[in-house]
Each structure stands twice: as structure tokens, then as C-alpha cells.
Structure 1
Amino acid sequence: MVDRKDVGSWLQGPGSRAPEAAEYAGERLGLPREGSGSIGRVGRRLLGVLVDWTLCTFIAFGLFHVPLPFTATAGSGAWITLVIFGVENLLLVGTLGYTIGHRVVGLRVRSINGRPPSPVQTVVRTVLLCLFLPAMFWDRDGRGLHDKAAGTVIVRL
């Protein structure tokens, strides 16, 4: 029989009864608490994506004459901006390990094993990132669902 305590712990989400609860984000992954190699926090990641999206918006405006977001005809070129954003992530994360926005805020993407992400990991991560929703949910270690599915983590430089 299911009692109220079981349902309550389920509603509280993952980790509410986890015996292996980590002391800090990234500890279960073997990452340091702070400094180089520690988990990139949400604020930095959000700022990095904002920098990348802004650059992609201006590239779309310059190359394809897509209206800027703050104009009366905004929204009609969002797909082109999203494609440019995806290409930027595929090319830069796949080769350098970071996008321009990541670099500005001092982050990089790496595989869980500490190596640069493989091409398959980069593609999976980019496709899910472009879907937006997986990036909005993360685990106790601060990894978005797109990073979990790809087997990657965003760490500080």
C-alpha cells in the first residue's frame, strides 16, 4: 500500500531520499567545488546563451536581413536565427569545446570523462539545446537534460 510519506517524497523530486546526496554540485561527477573545472552555474550559462543568441540575431540580420527582435516585424526570422545558433554550437563546441558566449563568461563543454565532446555528443547536445525545453530542466549537479542525454557537462575555465 502507498502511504502519504511515499507520495510526498516522490512529489519533492529527485534526491529527496537519496542516500548518496552530494555536498555540492558536481561532487558526484568528481569535479572540484569551485575554480577551474567546477560546474558552470546557471547565471553564467544563461549569460553565455544570451551572448550567443544576440550574436546570432545580428548575423541573421546582416546576412539574411532578418528583422531585429525589437522591430515591428520581429519574429518572422526566428527560425533563421535558431539555425545560425545551432550551426554555431555544432561548429564551435565540436571543435573548440565552447561557443563565443561560453568563452566570454569563462565556460566550456566537456565530456563526463574529461575529454572534449565527441561529434555524436555535440550533435545530440545541439539538437536538444535548440529544442529549448531540455535546457530548462537540470539535475542536482546543474546539468541540463540536453547535457545529460549527450553525456556532457559545462565547467568553468
Structure 2
Amino acid sequence: MIDRRDIGSWLSGPPTEPDYYPGRALGLPRTGSGSVARPGRRVVALCIDWAACLLISAAFFQSDSIATLAVFAAEQMVLVGTAGFGLGHRVVGIKVVRLGGDPAGIPAAIIRTLLLCLVIPAVVFDADQRGLHDKVAKTVLVRM
């Protein structure tokens, strides 16, 4: 009989051990500062960032969708690369760090943002709730 292990780990869902939690394999705490940011915070942060970029786009580019995406990309590259968080991240209390806890930095922020703008890498994630854009950039979103 075929079971989940035959299909592959990326299709099998989160581990089912009783002591499992997102970020455990990365050495992150279960809760509190430094733990993996959960999807709810991420979505709220994205909505805040997108709304701010939409306002800027409306003010300067007549709400052009490509301009809005460009403003969003610039915001993410600059703010995440220098401060470790965008406007929305800061509001909900999360930040982007490299694996090991160091600041993300400009190169990782650029890679992460370009993949984030493609959307699909951001919605495909692993058991530690890291999207493909974070895996490629070797980053993780954690609580402040």
C-alpha cells in the first residue's frame, strides 16, 4: 500500500511528532521573540505594505499596477535590506533575518523580493512555514 512517505516530503504536510513546531528544525524557539512568524501576521503585513504602495502609486503614477508593484519591490529591497523589515512587518512585529539570526542584508533582500513579486514562490512553503522565496534567499521571517 502507498503511504505519504512514498509521495515525498514536500507533499506530506507538516511532521506529526507531538513536539513538532514550525522553526524547530531551524533552531528557533516555539513562541515569543525569534520564533517563526505565523501566516496571519504575514498576510496583515503584506496588506499594509501593499496599501501603502498603492497610495504612493496613486499619488505619483495614477494607480498603475506595474508602478504599484515597482514601488512595493523598491520598498521591500531597501527596507528589508537595511532595517530587516518593511513598513507592514514593523507594524505587526516581525522581521526578516538570515538563518542564524544575522540581518538579511541587501543581496538577500533583492533575491527575496524578486521572487516575492512572482507570487508563486511566496505561497509554496515548507513545514517550517518558509516560502520558496525565503528558502532561496536563506532567510526566515521571525517575531520581534
TM-score (norm 2): 0.90
Question: 2:106 is matched by which residue type in structure 1?
Answer: P
Q: CA deviation at 1:43?
A: 0.5
Counterpart for residue 52 of structure 1: 49
Segments of 5+ residues of structure 1 without an aligned counterpart are: 67-76
Q: Compute the RMSD of aligned alpha carbons.
A: 2.4
Counterpart for residue 69 of structure 1: none
SS in 2 for 1:154: strand
Rate the CA distance shift 1:18–1:154 in 2: closer, same or farther, 3 A. Answer: closer
Question: Does the aligned pair in 2 maintain the 1:36–1:155 contact within 8 Å?
Answer: yes
Q: CA deviation at 1:9?
A: 3.6
TM-score (norm 1): 0.83
Question: Does the aligned pair in 2 maintain the 1:56–1:85 contact within 8 Å?
Answer: yes
Q: CA deviation at 1:142?
A: 0.5
Aligned with residue 128 of structure 2, among 138, 141, 146? 141
Counterpart for residue 125 of structure 1: 112
SS in 2 for 1:56: helix
* d(CA) in 2 for partners of 1:47, 1:40: 11
Is 1:62 the equivalent of 2:59?
yes
* d(CA) in 2 for partners of 1:41, 1:132: 18
Q: CA deviation at 1:119?
A: 2.0
Question: Does the aligned pair in 2 maintain the 1:147–1:153 contact within 8 Å?
Answer: yes
* d(CA) in 2 for partners of 1:120, 1:22: 35
Question: 1:135 is matched by which residue type in structure 2?
Answer: A
Identity of aligned residues (%): 42
Question: Does the aligned pair in 1 maintain the 2:82–2:105 contact within 8 Å?
Answer: no
Runs (4+) of structure 1 exceeding 3 A deviation are 6-9, 11-22
What do the CA deviations read for 1:99-118 (whole angstroms, capped 9, x no partner)? Answer: 00000110000000210013
Segments of 5+ residues of structure 2 without an aligned counterpart are: none
Is 1:100 the equivalent of 2:97?
no
Q: Higher Cα Rg: structure 1 or 2?
A: 1
Match runs of 1:1-157 below 5 Å: 4-5=1-2, 9-10=6-7, 13-14=10-11, 23-66=20-63, 77-157=64-144
Question: Does the aligned pair in 1 maintain the 2:84–2:96 contact within 8 Å?
Answer: yes
Rate the CA distance shift 1:128–1:32 in 2: closer, same or farther, 3 A. Answer: same
